[in-house]
Structure 1
Amino acid sequence: MTDEVTWIGHAATLVEIDGVRVLADPLLTRRIGHLRRRGPLPDAGVRRCDLVVVSHAHNDHLHRRSLRRVAAASPGVPVVVPRGAAAYVLGLGLGVVIEVSPGDDVEVAGVRLHVTDALHHGGRGRRDRGSTETVGYVVERAGRRCYLAGDTDLFEAMSALGPIDLACIPIFGWWKKLGPGHLDPESAAEAVARVDPQRVLPIHWGTYAPEDLGLVTGWLAEPGARFARALTERGLGDRLLRLEPGQTAPW
């Protein structure tokens, strides 16, 4: 059985590990607020999963409309969320809701989740900061381990996450600049050096942009090229797993 990963777009990622399908931060709509998706919507098959994990409560990671679509395709699917975020996923048709904090270890849907730190502010929006925690996950099954970083800046414990077979690392966002609590292409390459995975999939870039700027904007593609260069400069270029939104590859 071949383990596969699908980059759905933005932070949304579907990881298949020894037959278990883990869907992270699903964002499955053409629009989200003032943002519009570049390229086609993902295939409906990505909604079929055995487990959903959410890294934090921001609307581009905990997206209620997308979670309803997942619940319709995967009735009763369990969902793991950061502590304080359970209220946002109740009533969407999902299964059991498990709240976690950094340092927790839980077994659910046949996988073990090691809950990691994430250096990114929690809450649901600008007026709600800090009411929920922010986490990442190391998903482990059958001796294989995948790190789902969600959204984060560099943090010291990254170097202690290994061994990691696949790391899904955020490298940018949806605008031309980043605020605090994010990785840019160069600091994302430093994250790869610290985590030391066998393969790395860049996420959280190149998928959504403000609608009034149009969809053909050069800066959407720029972070991917910068990240590839930064990896190569560190001697890590052979670890890059470069996908377009909707593409699938073995890992």
Structure 2
Amino acid sequence: MSGCSTVSYPQSPQFGDDGFQNVRKPRPLGWRETSKLWWDFLVGGKPAGTVPTRSIPVQPLTRAQLDEAADGTLYRLGHSTVLLKLDGRFWLTDPVFSERASPVQWAGPKRFHAPPITLDQLPPLAAVVLSHDHYDHLDRETVRVLAAKTEVFLTPLGVGDRLVRWGVPRDKVRQLDWWDDVELQGVRLTATPSQHFSGRTLFDRNATLWASWVIQADGLRIFFSGDTGYFDGFRTIGERLGPFDLTLLECGAYDRRWQDVHMLPVQTLQAHLDLGGRSLLPIHNSTFDLAFHGWSEPMESLYTLSGQRDVQIVTPTIGQPLTIARPEATQPWWRAE
């Protein structure tokens, strides 16, 4: 089914009395647990090491380098922002270029590193692919700048309406439900299920849908998780649209208290196996302080687990080019002194 720019959300199987919903309802946190969580996060219960004490290595990128890159090249720009060159065009996931992942730029989680390329230097984009509307994935100022150089924004249901309110022309927005797909000049993109939630204020929880994405181009199959807890949907996606040359899977900002909506490293690894992935690139880490674990713990934990399970993990530095079909060898850069 092709995505369209206007959708009646109640017609979606994912839409219920309380807005959009998951296949499996996440375990709600109790009042005491929630209160302690916010106290620890805001007042000072966080352990040392959640923010790096040295500079994160970043490989700067230029427009000329991107133009000269071969098809099938990928660049991780930070957090869950990934730039792909497919079929001679550029595709960008969950772009966040602002200094903070926050409704305001004077407070909130601050970047550990600058993006390897500025918004102005980015080439024209065939599409921006958005997974959901949380601040570390949907950045209003970034979207407003990209609107002039992006042909289409692909979003889950409801997220596109936010973009239109921010000034993105409606004819540049396509909103998709789970399992809807679009084909753009030879590249097929499918919105697939994820286990998460949405909202940007206290009053709009689950008013918009969340999704993962499958990207197919030039014989390549790529899975982009967005944010998600572990669920049976990974196996279903793998059976319907896999196997995958590369999985871009969330590994970071997790905690056992909210593992229903953010995977633990061992679950990230299992999701990769369920999907039928060949190479695994962990995202959603090393850019913002969004949890209680050490900043490098997600990468280190997954790196160790992948060795135990004989899974090929690729960990390029921010801005380092990676060949999707045959990823170059990468190093555990977070261990460097």
Q: Which category describes the TM-score, using the shorter chain as reference length?
A: 0.7 to 0.9
2:115 aligns to what? 41
Deviations 1:94-126 (Å, cap 9, x if unpaired)? 661000011112113541112110100123344
Contact 1:47 1:70 in 2 (8 A): no
* 2:126 is aligned with 1:53: no
Report matched runs for 1:202-217 at 5 Å.
202-209=282-289
* 2:105 is aligned with 1:30: no
Deviations 1:156-175 (Å, cap 9, x if unpaired)? 131224121111000012x7
Larger CA deviation: 35-44 vs 128-137: 35-44
SS of the equivalent of 2:296 reads helix
* 2:317 is aligned with 1:244: yes
Q: Distance in 2 between matches of 1:135 and 1:103?
A: 10
2:225 aligns to what? 149
2:178 aligns to what? 102
* 2:183 is aligned with 1:116: no
Q: Distance in 2 between matches of 1:178 and 1:205?
A: 18
Q: Distance in 2 between matches of 1:120 and 1:66?
A: 23
* 2:209 is aligned with 1:138: no
Calculate the TM-score normalised by the size of structure 1: 0.87
* 2:231 is aligned with 1:158: no
1:178 to partner: Cα distance = 6.1
Deviations 1:116-160 (Å, cap 9, x if unpaired)? 101001233443211111111101112211111111112213122
AA partner of residue 250 (structure 2): P
Deviations 1:17-46 (Å, cap 9, x if unpaired)? 232311010011222221111122331244
Among all aligned residue pairs of Structure 1 and Structure 2, give the percentage whose two residues are the same amino acid.
Answer: 27
Q: Distance in 1 between matches of 2:139 and 2:183?
A: 24
1:225 aligns to what? 300
1:11 to partner: Cα distance = 1.0
SS of the equivalent of 2:247 reads strand
1:189 to 257, 261, 269: 269
Larger CA deviation: 175-184 vs 143-152: 175-184
Aligned residues: 241
* 2:11 is aligned with 1:11: no
SS of the equivalent of 1:165 reads strand
1:196 to partner: Cα distance = 2.2
SS of the equivalent of 1:152 reads coil
Structure 2, unaligned runs of 5 or more: 1-69, 103-107, 325-337
AA partner of residue 231 (structure 1): S
AA partner of residue 23 (structure 1): L
Larger CA deviation: 176-185 vs 9-18: 176-185
Q: From the superposition, tell whether residues 30 and 147 of structure 1 become closer, same or farther in structure 2 (CA, over 3 Å).
A: same
Whose strand fraction is larger, Structure 1's or Structure 2's? 1
Calculate the TM-score normalised by the size of structure 2: 0.66
Q: Distance in 2 between matches of 1:190 and 1:83?
A: 28
2:280 aligns to what? 200
Contact 2:282 2:299 in 1 (8 A): yes
Deviations 1:177-221 (Å, cap 9, x if unpaired)? 7623011211111111111212111100111127xx9xxx98111
Deviations 1:213-246 (Å, cap 9, x if unpaired)? 9xxx98111110101111111111xx21102223
SS of the equivalent of 1:194 reads helix
2:18 aligns to what? none
